[in-house]
Structure 1
């Protein structure tokens, strides 16, 4: 998987350490393969996990459909829906139009985000939902966060604002020994993405091979360790 056996062993040890301590990863490139690895990063359906989603491009119904094999009670799930965001309105909660989840009203677990440029308000909403879903003593990796696409923020705010927001979010996840992952379709050469990438513990490059099968490649930032491509299964 890595360049040699020594690197492979180092990769396995460091990855296990990140999972124990809490970590955040940046997932870049191919969307089809990103969907596959997203499922892996959210945790198995049979595991005890608490999830918080911030979708900017994926419809909430699709998020819920993918999530349903896991716990769907409001105490273990939060959705900050930014798919309809624009720069003219602020964050609102509308339980009359929000979706329902297994009989639970939307205002218990769902919040509509209408302004990506108000990162202070967005972080407060994120923190409120994170505190709501986290258990009293979270186990390593029990709290999981997914931002389906960070790209819309590139046009909504400047680099400094986005850097601060990502720093706050990733720090909050690490404090709870959780695992967060942020998808990006922009390439690593993108200047904004290059600015925020150091805030993550790892970058996962995903792609689809000539055989149509998804593959992945990891970079662990602290040790600057880059694996070879290997199957995403």
Structure 2
């Protein structure tokens, strides 16, 4: 039987190991798979935290659906200029044709643009932004680059899973190579087939859930096999 003191010591050691592991991911770059059968608004809340506080010197890239609202999508007071913030509004081939026919949604800021077409084109545009940020920063510092990728469901509905897997592998490797942090939204339970298949590509899996009226999260660091336990998702 384990005494209360032993349990507290074990919990403290686990917390310390988790924090050290998280700090290491920030130093060397990382990719996070964010999962959970929760409203999109809850993911948006978590993503804004992962993109970094407005007071932090971060270069942010958000890959969003063409209809996404940037007022709720980006951290408040983040520097809205192409040197610090960029937004790619992505539409697949089918949707880009429909948008062209209807006139589409106008682009209203210098830091956002629309990318229509195939997955290869999207990957090239993301790579160009990362390389440009690296040039502007005269080499990006660890965790300076933050990428949010919301377009996974759109890719999975238009491409074979194996193709999407390869795309994610290349994209996450590119972000890690610049010591950046990328998080990818995959709606659904952690144990859903697609999330179990994609998980090995990522350094951590972040679960989102709701406990009563409280939004909560739990992190699983893959390499060291340590979890955080559930804790509140701050506003």
Q: TM-score, normalised by structure 1?
A: 0.83
Q: Residue in 1 aligned with 2:22?
A: 15
Q: Identify the residue that residue 70 of structure 1 maps to in structure 2.
A: 78
Aligned to 1:34: 43
Number of the residue aligned with 2:186? 184
List gaps (5 residues or longer) in structure 2. Answer: 1-7, 98-103
Tell me how large the CA RMSD over aligned residues is. Answer: 2.6
The CA deviation at 1:126 is 0.9
Do residues 121 (structure 1) and 121 (structure 2) align? Answer: yes
1:93 equivalent in structure 2: none
Change in Cα spacing, 1:119 to 1:51, as seen in structure 2 (3 Å) is same
Tell me how far 1:208 sits from its aligned partner: 1.6
Of 25-34 and 8-17, more deviation after overlay is shown by 25-34
Other structure's SS at 1:181 match: strand
- Cα 1:97/1:5, change in 2 over 3 Å: closer
Structure 1 residue runs without a partner (length 5+):
91-95
Mapping 1:206-217, distance limit 5 Å: 206-210=208-212, 212-217=213-218
For 1:87 and 1:2, locate their aligned partners in 2 and report how far apart those are by CA, in whole Å: 56
Q: How many residues align?
A: 218
In structure 2, distance between residues paired with 1:133 and 1:5: 39
* Preserved CA contact (<8 Å) 1:138 1:177: yes
Separation (CA, whole Å) in 1 of partners of 2:204 and 2:66: 23
Partner of 1:171, secondary structure, is: helix
Q: Is the 8 A contact 2:44 2:72 kept in 1?
A: no
Q: Post-superposition shift, 1:98? A: 4.4
SS in 2 for 1:151: helix
Distance 1:149 1:215, change over 3 A: farther
**How far apart, in 1, do the equivalents of 2:12 and 2:66 lie?**
40
Helix, strand or coil at the partner of 1:55: strand
Q: How does 1:140-151 map to 2 (within 5 A)?
A: 140-151=142-153
- Structure 2 counterpart of 1:227: 228
Is the CA contact 2:220–2:226 (under 8 Å) kept in the aligned structure 1?
A: yes
SS in 1 for 2:24: helix
Return the index of the structure with the highest Cα Rg: 2
User: How far apart, in 2, do the equivalents of 1:40 and 1:175 lie?
Assistant: 22
Which of the residues 59, 72, 91 maps onto 1:50?
59
Q: Report if the CA contact (8 A) 1:22-1:178 is conserved.
A: yes
**What's the TM-score, normalizing by structure 2?**
0.83
- Which residues in structure 2 correspond to 1:72-221 (within 5 Å)? 72-82=80-90, 84-87=91-94, 98-101=106-109, 104=110, 109-115=111-117, 118-134=118-134, 135-210=137-212, 212-221=213-222
For residue 24 of structure 1, give the secondary structure of its aligned residue in structure 2: strand
